[in-house]
Amino acid sequence: MTKISDILSRGRSFSFEFFPPRTEKAEETLRQALIELEPLGPSYVSVTYGAGGSTRERTHDLVVDILHNTSMTPMAHLTCCAHTRAELLEVVERYRDAGIENVLALGGDPPADLDLPPGELHYAVELAELVREVGDFSVGVAAHPEPHPKSPTRKSDRKWTAYKLSHADFAITQFFFEARHYFDLVESLRALGVDKPVLPGIMPATSIASIKRMSELQGSEFPAWLAEKLHAVEDDPGAVWRVGVDEATRLCQELLDGGAPGLHFYTLNRSPATREIYTALGLRQGAA
């Protein structure tokens, strides 16, 4: 097992994110994606955690399966909303006992369709502290380049992001479509005295409807220039795919040229877009 903090100290990282499947068909799709992406030699991979703990066991099982049955280093996502402190301690202790050393600590949002308690912890920084109490984990947090939709001001967002990072080893950003948002975030954090790695999150816009929906959910901009390019070919799914992958590749190259410490791909449990971008960027297998 390898800590992500150690991986990042050695240079650029290239990581993939997955989510726990809910059906047999979705499980097969994920299994195929893992088979196709493992040869790229990602620095690490992460597995999401459903709102309110809705994928608690599936997340745990997938993370442990990746640890024991693949060559990839896994990281477990964990949210504190709708959980008691005792429940969170149990989850983290199980990861520690299973040999997992990497956790992404998130505040999380309770599912809108379930009447769940708010939870005893309210912020990701509290969860990061709890994780540290349980064991010697490498801990990451999330960052919003644009910024977080609930932040009253950009200045406030950067201040609290810096505070979160002071309790973590690194951050992974929500996806975005213009590099200027990422570089603004990094420069703002440096001005606040924080220089820990901030990994940009990449989501190729290969489906107009889904990318708009996800952008709205996370409170990020879906820029007009990208919408125009996609809508110009919206009657041709293959052309939409091509635009999405090409623009994501261009963004990745701009980020790497600007000094980003790596890339984090939101795969949606599928491999083609990530593999195409890898090839277009000239990344070799085992690029980490």
- Catalytic, out of 17, 101, 126, 146: 17
Question: For the chain, how far is it from start to end, CA to CA, in angstroms?
Answer: 15
**Total structural domains in the chain?**
1
Mean pLDDT of the region 56-72: 95
Q: Using CA atoms, how far apart are residues 246 and 122, in angstroms rounded to an integer?
A: 39
Please report whether residue 120 resides in a domain.
yes
Please report whether residue 17 resides in a domain.
yes
Domain extent at residue 75: 4-281
Please report whether residue 190 resides in a domain.
yes
Q: What CATH code is carried by the domain that includes residue 9? A: 3.20.20.220
Q: Full-prediction pTM beyond 0.85?
A: yes
Please report whether residue 286 resides in a domain.
no
DSSP designation for 258: T
Q: Using CA atoms, how far apart are residues 248 and 25, in angstroms rounded to an integer?
A: 28
Q: Tell whether the model's pLDDT for residue 287 goes beyond 70.
A: no
> pLDDT at position 117, please?
72
* CB atoms near residue 210 (< 10 Å): 12
Please report whether residue 244 resides in a domain.
yes
What are the pLDDT digits (tens) for 227-285? 999 999 999 999 999 999 999 999 999 999 999 999 999 999 999 999 999 999 998 65
pLDDT band for 113, please (50, 70, 90 cuts). low
> pLDDT at position 286, please?
54
* CB atoms near residue 77 (< 10 Å): 22
Q: What's the mean pLDDT when you consider all of the chain? A: 93
> pLDDT at position 110, please?
65
pLDDT band for 218, please (50, 70, 90 cuts). confident
* CB atoms near residue 216 (< 10 Å): 11
Q: Using CA atoms, how far apart are residues 199 and 15, in angstroms rounded to an integer?
A: 9
Please report whether residue 56 resides in a domain.
yes
C-alpha to C-alpha distances, 202 to 14, 214, 265, nearest whole angstrom: 11, 13, 5
Please report whether residue 277 resides in a domain.
yes
Q: Is 36 one of the annotated active-site residues of the chain?
A: no
Please report whether residue 183 resides in a domain.
yes
Task: Give Cα 84 distance to the centre of its chain.
Answer: 24
